[in-house]
Structure 1
Amino acid sequence: MFSTSAARRRRLVTLAGIAIAVVGLTGCVGTPKPSGSSSSPTASASVSPSPTPTPTGAPASPSPTPTAGTPAQAVTIGCNTLVSPQTMYDFNPNFGLDASFTPGGGTPTAKAVAAKGVACDWTNQTSGDKVTIAVARPGSAALAELKASAGAGTAVAGIGQSAFFSSSGGTGRLDVFTGTYWLVATSVFFGGAADFGSGADGRTLVAAAVAQLR
């Protein structure tokens, strides 16, 4: 009876060992992977940045600011350079330069001085009559206005770039425009546009002054 029990215990121990081995083997087996799966990790999808909208047209350029034109520039030429004593003598030997001359208010000569110009006056020693010549560089806008106003007179060819004669109250006036310069000559001795024609004394006097404007 003892031997039978012992044999039974050995069988039970053997069966228990087999059971433990089976359980151990079952724990070591990995979980089966689904068919077609990959062992490598799946890469995250990259997100492309949204493109910056392209403007349909370039912004309009600002309009240029209008300018007032060039300003007046000072004229520093002296009277004896503008019209030499010899030139005035040839015109009329009885005229002399008036060093104390002051332009009268509202005259074209005063306007030239106000525009940084110079005014020269020669007085007849016998009659007291005058020849006055003024020169200015009044700036582009003022020059255009002066030219437009003078253009109502009679055009005189061959003195400066353009010249116009007019008269008022017995006094003749010649406006000459050359480059940026405006020259105005007035005198009772200038009786008409013919005084500035070819070979006339008035033309010789004014043309000599214009020649200095450069």
Structure 2
Amino acid sequence: MSARRTLLITAPLLAAVLLLSGCGPAADPKSTSKPTGTPRPTASSSATPAADPNASNAPQVETGEPVGLSCNDVVTPQQVYDYNPNFGLVDGFVPENGSLAAQAVAANGLACRWMNQTSGATIDVSVAHLDARSNEIRKEFLASNSTSVSSFGPDGYFDQGDVGSAAQAFPGEFWVTAASVAFFTAEDAVAIMDNVTAAAG
């Protein structure tokens, strides 16, 4: 038999042997590996501050007067205890950029945070004493982009986000907000908002 004929017969046999023996491209171990251990909690856990649904689109307030209130004035320790004894005031709270609380602080307002010591859920409250024009601009924006509710007074609004909800109201010349993952409906925010609007008004 010629060498050429032997080569033609041997090549297919060799390919078949290699195929059957499993020689070929190695399987990607990532495609079959299973996760081990318990996943670590990420920044999206319940300790994450509540989302402010209107924060990215709301008009920025540029003017305002100091409110002359402290966090213990807008929601007293007893009122917090009555709402939920697991919540405690967070010292040195600095609101996230773009949040409703940060906008209030930019207008010489006050921002406060209470945290549930068990779950890590937070409630962010802010109060700002706005000039008349800033108040009207914000009300007009909310009237077109938010859900009007009567729970917080004649100018009350409530919006649900992916990881929290925000309540807003305008008692007198003040703009007050409360944002939390604990607010599933407007009614969940009423107790806190009543305290804040009473203190501001």
Which range, TM-score by smaller chain?
0.5 to 0.7
Runs of 4+ in 1 over 6 A off after TM superposition: none
| CA–CA distance in structure 1, aligned partners of residues 190 and 127 of structure 2 | 16
In the alignment, does 2:122 pair up with 1:130? yes
Aligned AA (1:121): R
| CA–CA distance in structure 1, aligned partners of residues 164 and 141 of structure 2 | 17
In the alignment, does 2:96 pair up with 1:109? no
Structure 1 unaligned runs (5+)? 1-70, 196-201
| CA–CA distance in structure 1, aligned partners of residues 172 and 110 of structure 2 | 17
Mapping 1:55-94, distance limit 5 Å: 71-94=63-86
Structure 1 or 2, whichever has the larger Rg, is 1
Aligned AA (1:139): D
Q: Secondary structure at the match of 1:144?
A: helix
2:151–2:190 Cα contact (<8 Å) kept: no
Residue 155 of structure 1: CA displacement? Answer: 1.7
Match of 2:55 in 1: none
Question: Alignment RMSD, CA only?
Answer: 1.4
Q: Secondary structure at the match of 1:179?
A: coil
| CA–CA distance in structure 1, aligned partners of residues 91 and 172 of structure 2 | 28
- Between 1:161-170 and 1:78-87, the stretch displaced more is 161-170
| CA–CA distance in structure 1, aligned partners of residues 118 and 132 of structure 2 | 40
Percent identity over the alignment is 35
Mapping 1:13-52, distance limit 5 Å: none
Structure 2 unaligned runs (5+)? 1-62
The TM-score, its normalising length taken from structure 2, stands at: 0.65
| CA–CA distance in structure 2, aligned partners of residues 173 and 159 of structure 1 | 12
- The count of corresponding residues between Structure 1 and Structure 2 is 138
- Please list the CA deviations of residues 1-32 of structure 1 after superposition, one character each: whole Å capped at 9, or x if unmatched: xxxxxxxxxxxxxxxxxxxxxxxxxxxxxxxx
The TM-score, its normalising length taken from structure 1, stands at: 0.61
